[in-house]
Amino acid sequence: MLFKTLFAILSTALAVSATPLEARSCSPTYTVQAGDTCYAIATANGLTVDQLLSYNPSIDCTDLAIDQVLCLGPGGDGGDGGTCTQTYTVESGDTCSTIAADVGLTVSQLEALNPSINSGCTNLDVGQVLCVTGGTSGGGGGGGSSVNGLATYYDPEDGYGACGWKIQNWDMAVAIGSGNWNSGSHCGATMTVTYGSTTIQVTVADLCPGCQGANGIDLTEGAMAAMDPNYVAHGVDSVTWSVSY
């Protein structure tokens, strides 16, 4: 009798613990594998960590379970049919034209991927997540293509970058401009930056809302110094950069 009671209690406990691993009603989904982190899952699926958490408010990123099923979208609200691999979060002042240009789509393609957008594109909301699957490069300089831009520098002072980790002043890291941010899809990627005859490689780690020009970047002071020994006097350098994965 005691054995049966203990077995019943154990069976109930196992059933409760298995609940987070059951099928989710959203689409698309991702099944957690050994070694996964919230950051790795988010970036691999074209999301920011904040977006991943918004779709999965109950998860604890320090205690992900193998085979746990996570939502990668709100569930049939983007017109992507569960196949959207890249998203864009609407910011203040955005229009369909500016978003489409930023991500390498036409307005018609953007509207086709997001049927909830009305014909005049007047119903965009700040914070709204749009599907932008099909962009040619996910932003300037992506996929290995090179663009010209202006490089400045900053000191992050061991603060957290927009990609989710701490950055030191002398780390070889870069903040990418908002025009190429693309919801953080480049986080962790390697950026190759060329100034004159000098080429350096840095890791995309932060967002630079105030970068100069459409393809501006903001290097850490350490990276800027490695690229241009006279960076203090120059202040701003004209560079060519590209992102690879």
Give the pLDDT of the chain (245 residues) as one tens digit per residue.
444 444 444 443 333 333 333 344 566 788 889 888 888 888 788 776 767 777 777 777 777 888 888 888 765 333 333 445 567 778 888 888 888 777 667 787 777 777 667 878 888 888 777 777 643 334 455 545 788 889 999 999 999 988 888 999 999 999 998 878 777 778 888 899 999 999 999 999 999 888 887 789 999 999 999 999 999 999 899 999 988 75
Report all structural domains of the chain as residue ranges with CATH numbers, in order of start.
20-71 (3.10.350.10), 87-131 (3.10.350.10), 142-244 (2.40.40.10)
Which residue type, as a one-letter code, is found at position 199? T
Spatial neighbors of 119 by CB under 8 A, at least 6 apart, are: none
Distance spanning both ends of the chain, measured CA to CA:
60
| 3-state secondary structure at position 200 | strand
Closest CA to 163 of 135, 149, 182, 137: 182
